[in-house]
Amino acid sequence: MRRTRLSALSLFLALLVSGCGVEFGNGDESIAGEGSSDNLDEAAIAAGIIVDPSALDIQGFYERDSGFGTDRFCAIRQDDDRYQVGILAVFGETSQCEGRGTATLDGANVTMTLRNSRDDTCKVTASFDGNVIQIAGEVADSCAALCTPRASLAGVAIPLIDDSQDAAGKAVGRNIGRLCNGVSG
């Protein structure tokens, strides 16, 4: 595994240097200016170093044991870029944030509208890198309604465990039975 990481790192560094347009061999090193970040990104995507943002899909079941409890997130695709989602972020035995709602995906950017059991609404933004959903470090004040005192959705990160709709439909919360009810459409 270490050898694979070193090989990937070596490939990335070689792509980085070639993408900068540095010419070697004649003793006259210069910046050619023709290497673009788009070409470098394309090469990194082709080499499997980074995920193609246009191919991302957040559908699935996410889970992380934080030591305070088990955080969960689920997403079920409704159409091309709209998802049914649910989240439980745990900060102790009685401290949590919990809600469900909808999300849209635009490249690696996720915009969620969440509701709690009292129908309070919260809008949050997150990013997705193909492995982890990461909520932004700042959330709207209205998101406090989804949380117990001293808990917040800000900065919560949960890794993808299973990308199937079936697994996402089985995600359970504390106060909300099924975070994603498993029904699409």
Percent of the chain past pLDDT 70, that is, above it, reads 74
> What pLDDT is stored for residue 42 in this prediction?
75
pLDDT digits 0-9 by tens, 149-183: 999 999 999 999 999 999 999 999 999 889 997 54
Residue 16: pLDDT over 80: no
Q: Which helix (H) or strand (E) holds 67?
A: none
| pTM reported for the whole predicted model | 0.72
Is residue 137 predicted with pLDDT exceeding 90?
yes
Least confident piece of the model among 32-46, 67-81, 105-119, 158-172: 32-46
79-99 per-position pLDDT tens digit? 878 999 999 999 999 999 999
SS (H, E, C) 83-139: EEEEEEEECCCCCEEEEEEEEEEECCEEEEEEECCCCCEEEEEEEECCCEEEECCCC
